[in-house]
Each structure stands twice: as structure tokens, then as C-alpha cells.
Amino acid sequence: MSENRPWVEKYRPRRLDDVVNQKGIIKRLKQFIKDESMPHLIFAGPAGTGKTTSALAMVRELYGRKMAVNTTYLELNASDARGIDVIRTYVKDFAKAKPPSDISFKILILDEADNMTAAAQQALRRTMEKYTSNCRMILICNYSNKIIPPIQSRCVVFRFSSLNKEDIRGRVKYIADREKITLSSDGLNALVEVSKGDCRRAINYLQSCGTISKKIDQDIVFRVAGEVPPEKIREILQTALEGQLQFSLKLLKDITREYGLSGINIIKNIYREIYDLRISEQLKIALSKLLAEFEYRLSQGGTEEIQLQALLANIVMLKEME
């Protein structure tokens, strides 16, 4: 596959039936297409779950060959064009123009709509109301609570859920096969784990790994993703909890040098492992509080080496006080 495009775009599903793990939503969207009628919509949910893909696939199936940018549909990223002037000019001009196709309305897709300013959202609600007969809008956002209530009341809200591991695993394997990449079982599992339910992230990591090697294993994935294999983090925690401060510091320096992680990343990696440790609930609670404190210190500009060493020292002291 020599096409020089990001794999996220190259392998974006083109039909609603290809969108995974959102069966209830897809069923309702297909009914809108069948009826050739729809209200204003809000697609809300975590990143990489198929919101933009569903909107574009819906437009493609609704208009077919008559689908054309700036005539039957328009896609804007509200994080770039988010001011009131854009709503009053560009969006309004598109919304008020008569649709050119047999379908009685055009579609305006506003991606990242939760980044729009309050003034822009206030201007948008009037445009939505005034030109509904010509234009229906699909607002895409991560957090629907950032959309003002007057706009929410004008829309039907669809909430997308994170993708399950099997769905991401299947998509990653499909792309790896098409790109002639050998993906080991532990490499595939690592990609699924670091994606955290975000299929776009998994595909981007796969492409990044593919530029390093056509044979991808767990180690390559963790290096590209800026994460450490869980067993190495568990080893640091276990040695600190056993009172071996010097040895735990050595292990910490080794993974910092080997994986080039920031202090914040290391704390996040430790946080994911503490609840799987065979320690008391009280100790887990104390560890959580410690991690929160040291993450805050780092966010305020604390020196990474000093703060991380102090974190391990505090973990050693926690075990001694138990």
C-alpha cells in the first residue's frame, strides 16, 4: 500500500455498517437516511470512537454521487473556526443557501464543537433555528456539557462509547495485513492496551511503529507510545515496597534512560499498576494520594529527578509504617 496518507484517513470506514461497537446509534442514523429526514444532531463521546466517521458516512450514504463539499455538505473544525464572526458569515451563508440536490436539506458538520466560544454558540443557535429547512447540523464533541443548553435542546444527542478491545484488535490486524506488517501477539496486545479505547490512537501508533520496523513486537510499541512494560513498573513498586530504596532508584533510572519517559508519564504508569498489586486496601489508598501529590508537584515545575526519587522514598516509608 504505497498511498502516502495517514493510515487513520486511508482506512476510515466509508459506510455506516463498517462503524463498530455503536450498533444502536448506527441503526437510528440509517433510519434517518431511509426517511431522507433528520433533526439537528450532537455526537458526543471519547476520542477515536467513530463520531466524525459516522457523520461523513451518513452524508455519503444520504447524498450518494451528489455528495459535494460546499454544496451538499460542509465540514468545519470548530477548534480552528470557533469565533462569532465565522458563525455570522461562513456558517450562516452556507446554511441559508438552498440545497442543490433532491434531498431537501444540506448538512453542516461542526467538529470539536465544544471548543466554540460562548458567543459563537449563542449566534449558532439562532442560525440553527432560522435555517432548519435548508440545513441540518451535526455537532461533534467530546463533552456535550460544554454545549450550551439552548443548542442541546434543539438537537438529538447520540453518545458514543469507547471501543472494546476486540474491535480495536480486529481493525489493527486488518490494517497490518494490508500494509504487510508482521504483528506479534504481544505487540498487538500492547497496541490495544496503549490505545485505551481510542481506535485512532491505536492506528497512529501502528503507523509510527511501522516506520521503525515491519516486524512489530511489544517493546517497539511501548517505546513509540512512551510507556513502559507493566512488569517493569511492577518491579519498581515491589522493590520500593520491600524497602529496597537504592535498587528501586536504579530500576527507575534504567527505564527513564531506556524509554525516555517524562516524570508525569512514569507516575501515570505507576498509577495503572497499583490496584493490581497484592497489598492492603489502605496501602493502595495511601499510594494513590502520594501519586496525586507528586503529579501536582511536577505540574508546578518541580525537578523530575528529585521528585521521582522522593516519591520512591515515600513509598518505602509507607511500607515501614504499615
The SS3 assignment for 297 reads helix
Out of 3.40.50.300, 3.40.50.970, 3.40.50.12160, 2.60.40.60, the CATH code matching 7-159 is: 3.40.50.300
Mean pLDDT by 10 residues, the chain (322 residues): 73 88 91 92 92 92 80 78 73 85 86 87 88 92 92 94 90 93 92 89 93 90 84 90 91 86 87 85 90 93 92 86 56
**Distance from CA of residue 218 to its chain's centroid?**
21
Listed by start position, the domains of the chain span: 7-159, 165-225, 230-321
Cα(131)–Cα(224) distance, integer angstroms: 47
Buried b (16+ CB within 10 A) or exposed e, 121-140: bebbbebbeebeeebbbbbb
Cα(267)–Cα(293) distance, integer angstroms: 10
CATH code: domain 230-321 is 1.20.272.10
What CATH architecture applies to the domain 165-225? Orthogonal Bundle (1.10)
Number of Cβ within a 10 Å radius of residue 97: 14
Cα(25)–Cα(29) distance, integer angstroms: 6
Helices (H), the chain: 7-10, 23-35, 51-63, 84-86, 92-96, 118-130, 149-153, 165-178, 185-195, 199-212, 218-225, 230-241, 245-259, 263-274, 281-299, 304-321
Q: Are 249 and 287 in contact (CB under 8 A)?
A: no
Cα(298)–Cα(33) distance, integer angstroms: 50
The identity of residue 312, as a single letter, is: L
